[in-house]
Structure 1
């Protein structure tokens, strides 16, 4: 919210004080609030019926108190860092009584820096947080609820599936900036044609994906690249876990593992077959998040996140007309079932902040206000990230660059509506299951790999007393 008290107002009040000292009437000025809300200057009681001018209180003659808030943002791509700085500066120019001090924190230093700040009672007023951290932080009181600090309409503007990412039983604890699908299929249309495949008909089932991969594999070019180590599989396979079994590998109340079913057996079989067929490199060419091998022409089909679009458009411009984009194939070809999870980032207010209203005003300005601010962000990201807000998408559909972008349109319409939220349970659960996938890929029987995962997950639940602690169910 804008606060426009300055030297002119202070001077005017001073003159009024001199004039009113000569008057004998008295009244209440109402006082000023310093909680960051957009209060006007109280120079008199407009409702006074006594025919006299109210005498201002002493505090009414002082300029409004300036609040300086600490804002920490994770370090992302240079374009994202620049976007944060640009619009924080714009906010500071137009809100003289609320000033935001932005600090960009590298990811490898984030946890240690935040822990130290919290221990010293100097945590930032607001900061970035990914979806997976929200529920637990809310449960522990580490972040503040936003319902009473922001206009209800900004939450109604969110897509229904995204509302679930940032709220618990109707209470919102974060406001989302973006969503990023974790699994999208990229393929070389020219190599499809050379292999006798229709470049306008990418594979839609796991079996087709492997069959296409075999036809596309040739000297120097692998047919398929996807995650193949436990750390990468831990998060990149969440959507396929939902696709195969309809749930994640732990009961909803976190009381026990839930992995011994036909769906998960088929999931591990898919990875095992793809790896053993020779269409994938035995040693990954890069991490899952890095689609550079595809851009360099070493891979015919690549499964990666939507962020790969930015990489291709920035670093491999000569390849763009050869790249096709499609939803990740599903177990049975039904692409209205999830094959991807939606990662992404939000802004939250620290649970101990003394400036929660001012922080909420900044969040409203940056993420929930003028659609042009967020359109600017999505343009700088080369439309590789997507909006959680309906009004922003509606505005982008009127923007020439956005509405004519076929990749943005495809992912927005055919991937995001069916994607699931990332899980909020401890990472150890994801690693236990992804270790089973990697083990099966590299020779272990599917049944044995799942049995090990079941035991590891159940042991972790017991050791950490996880049963019944899912904050969503409490």
Structure 2
């Protein structure tokens, strides 16, 4: 019994000595690690103080895991993300990107829950309209010190503003889609005595052509006609008619009760009241189906309609004309569209901001052929924000022969504007006025109500002076 006690004490002494030795070795190692949590107590690295992101910080020598959430789009887009995430993972051994595709209707709830739990993804897709507010509230990081400056120099000038706030870039753009393009049926133009190679250039010409094209079973024109669609599809035409949007730059008051906005509402009212468009929309603004089925001779829709036409209505493609949306006075250098689209951003609490930025650089800011592959999958219905990608497309056999892509790239996108970042309530108030005017309310009365509703919202929300872009 005594021998066992001595042996037990001896083991205790030995174990204590070994423990002290281990602590001394750890202290001399200089890694700053303590315990099994992977936290860094004595590091100047940004990951030491960033407590969110896609999991714990990696230990020295371990592969870093980057969580990437992409909002669900078309199946072809989902497949493109999967393909190039896999290629990135194979291209190096230091970083593993884990892709999660999140349905759009679940995005907000899932993201808020992840942020509340400190488990937001390191990289996410984010649309341009949300970048400024996300930057202002610290949800996403500035990229200037994480990515090569040449990547931002590669962006077209009118697109840099989409992802920047006060001189800093908070996201990197992946694509743009103009909100308004004119699609017209060349065969119907011929039947109506119109030149199929000459699209209407002014609003008056557009309405005149629509009158000539309207016949039994076919409406001459389709434009947005419900407040939900008008709220965003009219942004480009607001710029076209007025040179600005519905509020002042500092968001202090409405800016719609003027002659320029009266011209805009008069256009919509005349189009609806003249009988050239259906009284009830045959489809939502984003759907080119009525045009594809021959029920509409001219339809205003976004560039995304190209993909739908090429996939679903191949039999009419030879008779489809594509042109910029008509301008109020025929000046095609005035905006007629805004550019929607998506970008990639890094979570404000990511533990691995540099590795996250390296992945973004690889996927959307690096080899032009990666993005050319994406634009091919979209049937060239989406467009590049990068000069180098467009330059590379000139030597790509498929891209260089696409006349619709060339026309939109050259005649629509350079003159298009960014979508507004103010609350949707403002856009909806004006849209309600447009719809009201279309259905018979006097234009002056409709605008007076919009002016009051917008100003009331500004006061109630204390919106004045809160524009994050200023």
**Pairwise same-fold verdict (TM > 0.5):** yes
Q: Partner residue of 2:269?
A: 272
Please state if 1:287 is matched with 2:281. no
Equivalent residue of 2:303, what SS? coil
- State the match for 1:237 in structure 2: 234
Q: Which position in structure 2 is the counterpart of 1:393?
A: 390
**SS state at 1:73 partner:** strand
| Corresponding position of 1:191 | 188
1:157 paired residue number: 154
- Could you list the per-position Cα deviations for residues 417-453 of structure 1 after superposition, in whole angstroms to 9, with x for gaps in the alignment? 0000000000111000111000000111101100110
Further displaced range: 93-102 or 443-452: 93-102
- Deviation digits for residues 101-122 of structure 1 (CA, Å, limit 9, x no counterpart): 1111111111111111111111
| Corresponding position: 1:327 with 2:324 | yes
* Match of residue 125, structure 2, among 124, 128, 133: 128
Is 1:382 aligned to residue 397 of structure 2? no
Equivalent residue in structure 2 for 1:405, among 402, 407, 428? 402
3-state SS of 2:143 partner = coil
Deviation, 1:416, is 0.3
- SS of residue matched to 1:127: strand
> After the TM superposition, which residues 57-72 of structure 1 pair with which residues of structure 2 at under 5 Å, given as runs?
64-72=61-69
State the alpha-carbon separation in 2 of the partners of residues 165 and 320 from structure 1.
33
Pairing 1:99-248 to 2, within 5 Å after superposition = 99-248=96-245
1:408-423 map, 5 Å: 408-423=405-420
Task: State the match for 1:251 in structure 2.
Answer: 248
Q: Deviations over 1:31-55 (max 9, x none)?
A: 89x99xxxxxxxxxxxxxxxxxxxx
1:317 aligns with 2:314: yes
> How many Å apart are 1:464 and its aligned residue?
0.6
**In the alignment, what sits opposite 1:45?**
none
Match of 2:47 in 1: none
In the TM superposition, what is the alpha-carbon distance from 1:95 to its structure 2 partner?
2.4
TM-score for the superposition, normalised by structure 2: 0.87
Distance 1:199 1:399 in 2: 29
Q: CA RMSD in A?
A: 1.7
In the alignment, the residues of structure 1 paired with residue 459 and residue 295 of structure 2 have an alpha-carbon distance, to the nearest angstrom, of 45
Match of 2:350 in 1: 353
Return the offset for 1:70.
Answer: 1.1
Question: Is the partner of 2:469 in helix, strand or coil?
Answer: helix
Tell me if 1:433 matches 2:430: yes
What count of residue pairs does the alignment treat as equivalent?
420
Q: Which residue of 2 aligns with 1:448?
A: 445
3-state SS in 2 of match to 1:302: strand
* Matched position secondary structure for 2:93: coil
Structure 1 unaligned segments of length 5 or more: list them.
1-27, 36-61
Normalised TM-score (structure 1) = 0.87
Query: Residue 148 and residue 322 in structure 1: after superposition, are their counterparts in 2 closer, same or farther (change >3 A)?
Result: same
What SS is found at the alignment partner of 1:452? Answer: helix
